[in-house]
Amino acid sequence: MNYEKWSLGYWLLKQYVRFVDWTIHDKIILSGTDNIPNNKPILIAPNHQNALSDPMAILLHTRFQPVWLARADIFKPGFITLALRFLKIMPVYRMRDGKDQLSKNDKTFADSIKVLENNGALALFPEAAHSAKRQMLSHKKAVPRIVFQAEEKADNNLDIHIVPTGIYYSSYWKFNRSVLVNFGKPILVNDFLDAYNENSSAATLALRDALEKAIEPLTINIKSKEHYECFELIRAIYGKAFAQKTGQQNGFVQRFKSDQQMVKKLDELESINKEKTDEICNATKQFDTDVRKHGLRSWLVENPENNFLKLGLNKLLLLITLPVFAFGFVFNAIPFFAIDTIVRKKIKDFAFWSSFSLVLGFTLFPIVYLLELWAVSGWLPLWWHKLLFLALLPFAGKLAFRWYILLLKTIGRGRLFILKTFRKQQWQNLKNQQEQLFDELNKLS
């Protein structure tokens, strides 16, 4: 197979999956695309936290048809291998696959060189595993070994650019999440070739460490093992207040940068004062527990002003848009809840939930949509009526989900109104608890 050649079939599939991916996300933001060089062989090296969603975040939103290098044990005989090759995924054999298998890497490296010689894009996860956490794993040596061997086989004439990449999700698996893809300044392999010729092992380690250092600022990396869950909870509860206190503007990218700063300060606090960290974490968990006892979320306690007005406006908006919700719900509920049930019950590792949801989504939804079109076609006499009906279904489904989220927020506001009006002492205790917690966290900034 000529991996370096542009594939029409790949391009057509990419357009369809890109649309499906758009329906899943609220926002898809690319940053630093000007760091991706033109007319140069590149290797894209992203962090890896969310299984199949990570390569999708790269290949769906760049101009390339990147060739991915993946561990050889996923290449099962038959359809799976054919599908992986169609998706431009090549096997890399490791010692654990058997010493006699390592020679098969010669073909992979030869194919990689062809891709690079044609100014194509390779892609490889330096961590060689996904963490399912906002936490970088130690980098392996695969990226430097591959680029050095490729340069060696091409007489150091490739001029490979490694593009460090950070992928950040607002949620790893929830529907309507947002994703940010940060492309960093490329690392030039040529800068390490002299060192490689003198001492290949030292140069391999140096390039590995340089790449790890370049990726870390592009993502959120909570280094704490003991307090990871707590720091994530603090991020959810206190993140907006921290952003405002540090002068960050509203927006997904700005909040990402603010959260980076806050996580760094929390890691620093843990390293110098573990007792204080434990105290803050215990207070945060208790506050979260108490908030949820009242059926609320922390953002309602943080910003209770104008709640009555917003409650009334939300109810009015829900009533006006109810027909839109009904249409979207009726024709999207079956595949949506079927996929959600299958994924939650059958997939034990939640790191794969988004991956299976995506795959099931772009296979099951079209089937259900066509069946629904057949069921209502008698009420749609003209062909363009049928086409319009079919085209509206995914958009209506997305609007129905947003209606549902607004409903949940309105219910929360209703509970807040009842708490503030009829249980004033409990409300005041909760508000005092939040203010005391924020006073402690404000010392971080």
pLDDT tens digits, one per residue of 151-173 = 988 889 899 999 999 999 999 88
More confident residue, 223 or 355: 223
Residue percentage of the chain with pLDDT more than 70: 100
Q: Does residue 354 register a pLDDT over 90?
A: no
Q: What is the mean pLDDT of residues 101-117?
A: 84
Q: Does residue 317 register a pLDDT over 90?
A: yes
Instruction: Give the N- to C-terminal CA distance of the chain in Å, as an integer.
Output: 55
Q: Does residue 231 register a pLDDT over 80?
A: yes
Would you list the DSSP string of 80-112? HHHHHHHTTEEEE--GGG-GGGGGGHHHHHHHH
Report the range of poorest mean pLDDT among 95-99, 153-157, 182-186, 427-431: 95-99
Residue 379: what pLDDT?
A: 94
The DSSP H or E segment spanning 46 is strand 42-46
Residue percentage of the chain with pLDDT more than 90: 70
Residue 352: what pLDDT?
A: 81
Q: What is the mean pLDDT of residues 281-298?
A: 97
Q: Report the length, in residues, of the chain.
A: 445
- Which CATH code, of 2.40.50.360, 3.40.50.1010, 3.40.1130.10, 3.40.640.10, is assigned to 8-218? 3.40.1130.10
Delimit the domains of the chain by residue range: 8-218, 222-293, 307-432
Residue 277: what pLDDT?
A: 97
Write out pLDDT tens, residues 21-75: 999 999 999 999 999 998 899 999 999 998 888 989 999 988 889 999 887 877 8
More confident residue, 358 or 298: 298
Distance CA 318, CA 405 (A): 11
Residue 2: what pLDDT?
A: 79
Residue 411: what pLDDT?
A: 97
Q: Read off the pTM.
A: 0.92
Residue 12: what pLDDT?
A: 94
For all residues of the chain together, what is the average pLDDT? Answer: 92
With CA atoms as reference, report the closest residue to 359 among 376, 373, 378, 346: 346
Report the range of poorest mean pLDDT among 50-54, 262-266, 415-419: 50-54
Query: Is the Cα torsion angle 57, 60, 66, 68 positive or negative in sign?
Result: positive
Residue 199: what pLDDT?
A: 97
Residue 146: what pLDDT?
A: 87
The answer to whether 154 and 113 have CB atoms below 8 angstroms apart is yes
With CA atoms as reference, report the closest residue to 4 among 153, 122, 114, 92: 114
Q: Does residue 200 register a pLDDT over 90?
A: yes
Distance CA 51, CA 360 (A): 15
Place of tokens 């549902």: 404
Residue 117: what pLDDT?
A: 85
Distance CA 38, CA 40 (A): 6
Reduced to 3 states (helix: H, G, I; strand: E, B; else coil), residue 2 is coil
Q: What is the token pair recorded at 119? A: 């100014």
Residue 419: what pLDDT?
A: 96
Residue 405: what pLDDT?
A: 96
Angle at 170 between CA 402 and CA 266, to 5 degrees: 140
Residue 111: what pLDDT?
A: 87
Q: What is the mean pLDDT of residues 165-193?
A: 95
Residue 389: what pLDDT?
A: 97
CB atoms within 10 A of CB 219: 22
